[in-house]
């Protein structure tokens, strides 16, 4: 403690051993000790007392589409990382698509890293992309530090990122398994999508029918079979269909190396409440019925679903037309993810330690970020300070992401982020930001 440069304390610190009153000592951007609440602060150390506000590890969001460079008018590193920081996130991992170039070669990764380095308000890492024609690029990307590879099993929404058919999936996964990498998958089966009624238009019920659960269930079953055959590590992105949960639970029980995420919008919004024409609610797979949502919560509670990430995937407002078939699919949730999940979690009897496990510890573990995701000695001093009982009404004008379209407009949420800290430096206080202090992250070899 004597070398501490900063001591922060709260009556409620969420640690891996439980929530308790504690003082956290920080030096060189790292947590050096978690001490009793009334530990003496060394002279010369800065001291912050958060009172009864909760001190939690900064969230690690492993599913963000930043779109920079190339579609920076949709979202960029400057705006995305400010929105994330305002929401208590301190680490994000960027998806390989919707930027131009996509992160599918080492050269493209370097371009992305250069752009991010100057604008990132928090630590930023990258997923690579697995395309039909870039199998030879996968190992070099792995060696260059991407955290894993994203693949689509159905059309991605952008031409430059084509999806894999089953043979191509087998080839890519075999290559990735060869260096024990991780494949993260948008799992909807294209044949089931094609067979579904494609009505188009403004009715949400028609859109929901066009992306049926069995498209997800079939794709996930196929992925499990491949993972098992190759003993490969796979991760199911943005699970929406609760019908796939028994398959996943059985695969996990059998030792298949599979993890699963879901998103705040599947956990807090329901198909029943989406107004017709409101394409700010459009994402793929879609937000489903409230009975489906109940089962997703149950799966989080029992560990079938491992983590919760935003899948923040914005576009310009003009692409959010009132025709669900052609409107851009993606929900902008970065700044609101913690409050949205916490608001629903507490109603369902969960505590903040559960939310931290889903949104910080498990995601850090997914990416192999041993320095993130917990308040304990040796980890980075990344914190969010949360007033869990304070409420606010979502005003799109108060959001930091570039295009202030949100499915949460007008909702009253619990949990106000008072400040966010990155490696011992406060990066947001009451909506005021410091200059960007983020670092580029690469996979730990």
> Which residues have C-beta within 8 Å of that of residue 428, sequence separation ≥ 6?
82, 85, 86, 121, 417, 419, 420, 434
By CB under 5 A, tell whether 75 contacts Zn ion: no
Among 94, 280, 311, 365, binds Zn ion (CB under 5 A): 311
Contact 310, 264 (CB under 8 A): yes
Whole-number Å distance between alpha carbons of 443 and 148: 8
Q: Which residue is nearest to Zn ion (CB)?
A: 311
Whole-number Å distance between alpha carbons of 12 and 384: 12
Q: By C-beta, is 306 or 311 nearer to Zn ion?
A: 311
| DSSP 3-state of 53 | coil
Site mask for Zn ion (CB under 5 A), range 269-308, x = bound: ----------------------------------------
- Residue 96 Cβ vs Zn ion, minimum distance, rounded to whole Å: 10
Contact 197, 208 (CB under 8 A): no
21 φ, ψ (degrees, to nearest 5):
-70, 130
Q: By C-beta, is 61 or 311 nearer to Zn ion?
A: 311
Which single residue is written with the structure tokens 């690579």? 128
Which single residue is written with the structure tokens 């490696």? 423
Stretch of residues binding Zn ion (CB under 5 A), selected from 119-127, 129-137, 281-289, 310-318: 310-318
Whole-number Å distance between alpha carbons of 161 and 240: 22
If we measure between CA atoms, which residue out of 437, 423, 438 comes closest to residue 27? Answer: 423
Give, for 143, the enclosing helix (H) or strand (E).
helix 135-144
Stretch of residues binding Zn ion (CB under 5 A), selected from 75-83, 190-198, 311-319, 363-371: 311-319
Q: By C-beta, is 363 or 371 nearer to Zn ion?
A: 363
Q: By C-beta, is 189 or 311 nearer to Zn ion?
A: 311
- Residue 146 Cβ vs Zn ion, minimum distance, rounded to whole Å: 16
Q: By C-beta, is 68 or 311 nearer to Zn ion?
A: 311
Q: By C-beta, is 9 or 186 nearer to Zn ion?
A: 186
Q: Which residues bind Zn ion (CB under 5 A)?
A: 311
């Amino acid at each position: 403690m004597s070398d501490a440069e900063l001591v922060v304390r709260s009556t409620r610190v969420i640690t891996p051993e439980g929530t308790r009153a504690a003082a956290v000592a920080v030096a060189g951007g790292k947590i050096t000790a978690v001490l009793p609440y009334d530990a003496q602060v060394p002279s010369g150390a800065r001291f912050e007392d958060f009172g009864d506000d909760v001190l939690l590890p900064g969230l690690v969001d492993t599913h963000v589409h930043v779109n920079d460079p190339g579609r920076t008018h949709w979202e960029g590193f400057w705006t995305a990382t400010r929105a994330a920081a305002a929401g208590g996130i301190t680490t994000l991992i960027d998806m390989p698509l919707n930027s131009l170039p996509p992160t599918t070669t080492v050269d493209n990764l370097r371009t992305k890293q250069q752009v991010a380095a100057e604008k990132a308000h928090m630590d930023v890492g990258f997923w690579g992309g697995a395309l039909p024609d870039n199998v030879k690029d996968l190992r070099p990307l792995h060696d260059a530090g991407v955290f894993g590879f994203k693949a689509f099993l159905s059309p991605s929404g952008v031409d430059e990122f084509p999806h894999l058919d089953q043979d191509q999936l087998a080839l890519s996964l075999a290559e990735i398994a060869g260096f024990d990498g991780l494949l993260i998958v948008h799992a909807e089966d294209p044949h089931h999508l094609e067979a579904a009624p494609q009505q188009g238009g403004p009715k949400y019920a028609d859109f929901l029918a066009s992306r049926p659960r069995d498209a997800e269930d079939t794709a996930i079953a196929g992925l499990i079979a491949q993972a098992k055959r190759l003993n490969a590590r796979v991760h199911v992105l943005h699970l929406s269909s609760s019908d796939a949960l028994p398959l996943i639970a059985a695969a996990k029980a059998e030792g298949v190396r599979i993890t699963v995420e879901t998103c705040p919008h599947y956990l807090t919004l329901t198909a029943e409440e989406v107004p017709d024409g409101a394409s700010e609610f459009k994402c793929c797979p879609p937000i489903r019925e409230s009975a489906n949502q109940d089962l997703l919560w149950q799966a989080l509670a029992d560990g079938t679903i491992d983590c919760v990430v935003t899948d923040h995937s914005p576009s310009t407002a003009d692409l959010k037309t009132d025709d669900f078939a052609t409107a851009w699919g993606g929900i902008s949730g970065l700044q609101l993810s913690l409050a949205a999940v916490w608001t629903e979690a507490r109603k369902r009897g969960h505590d903040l330690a559960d939310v931290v496990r889903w949104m910080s510890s498990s995601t850090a573990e997914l990416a192999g970020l041993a320095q993130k995701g917990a308040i304990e000695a040796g980890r980075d001093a990344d914190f969010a300070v949360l007033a869990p009982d304070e409420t606010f009404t979502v005003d799109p004008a108060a959001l930091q992401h570039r295009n202030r379209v949100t499915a949460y407009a007008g909702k009253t949420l619990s949990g106000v982020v008072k400040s966010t800290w990155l490696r011992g430096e406060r990066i947001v206080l009451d909506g005021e930001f410091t200059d960007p202090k983020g670092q580029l992250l690469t996979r730990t070899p």
